[in-house]
Amino acid sequence: MTTDAQTQARRVLGRGPVSMMAIAAVVAVGLTAAACGSSTPAASGTGTTTTTAPSPAGATGSSGQVVANAVSNAKIGGPILVTSSGMTLYKFSADSAGTTACNSGCTSVWPPLTVPAGTAPKGGPGTGGTFATISRSDGTQQVAYDGHPLYTFSGDSSAGATNGQNITSDGGTWTVVTVGSSSSPASTTTTKPSSGGGYSY
């Protein structure tokens, strides 16, 4: 029994004979008061904040990867397409929309512009045209601009160089990709074998 309950019981008992029920009532009131006094304070009403982890890179809704930009080139006489690192991009006249005729040894001189599987390529401001990918025979995904597979040239040692312009090799001619130079539709097709041929630099 608590001190307060004992005090109340003495007061009641001091007034004369009382029933056991009266004493029990006094004790019950004291215990209830003690229990209320030792209760844990209620939690504040600030609420709970739940943190949601950011969506992983490449998740659905991604706007795509910028793979090419448009830059002015005095030698070519207008804006041309370059990679994100500034290297000039070329197209090959032996290619057809969505297919490439440059395979095997050809790719060591004219490296294809590729992206990881599942990547949606896009161009930077001013590039216009349509960017897509084609499946090469080795399983890599090559970027195409208005249906033309894109390449860089091993003979360009610095950004903006256009040393591959009008080179004839592998049964076709290589030319710098100028912005808006082609309106051929883009498509996705497996590559055809290279026609072979030498290089005339």
Compute the distance between CA of residue 28 and CA of residue 20 in angstroms, rounded to an integer. 12
Residue 99 token pair: 């297919």
Is 51 contained in some domain? Answer: no
What would the pLDDT profile of 165-184 be if each residue is shown by its tens digit?
999 999 999 999 999 754 44
Number of separate domains in the chain: 2
- Locate all alpha helices (DSSP H) within the chain, ordered by sequence: 3-14, 20-37, 106-109
Residue whose C-alpha is closest to residue 116's, from 137, 93, 139, 100: 139
Q: Are 102 and 192 part of one and the same domain?
A: yes
- The residue that leads in pLDDT, 132 or 17, is 132
Mean pLDDT to the nearest integer, 117-144:
95
What pLDDT score was predicted for residue 40?
40
- Environment class of 127 (CB within 10 Å of its CB; exposed 0-12, middle 13-18, buried 19+): buried
Percentage above 70 pLDDT, the chain:
58
Cα separation, 140 vs 133, in Å, equals 9
CA distance 124 to 11: 92
Question: How do residues 147-165 score in pLDDT, each as one tens digit?
Answer: 999 999 999 999 999 999 9
Sign of the dihedral through C-alpha 4, 10, 16, 17 = positive
* pLDDT for residue 30 is more than 60: no
Asked if residue 80 and residue 13 are part of one domain, the reply reads no
Regarding whether 106 and 7 lie in a shared domain, the answer is no
More confident residue, 27 or 149: 149
166 and 117 belong to one structural domain: yes
110 occurs within a structural domain: yes
Of 72-81, 121-130, 174-183, minimum mean pLDDT range: 174-183
Task: Give the burial class of 115: count Cβ atoms within 10 A of its Cβ; 0-12 exposed, 13-18 middle, 19 or more buried.
Answer: middle
pLDDT band at 99 (very low <50, low <70, confident <90, very high): confident
Domain hosting residue 8, numbered range: 3-37
In a domain, 181, yes or no: yes
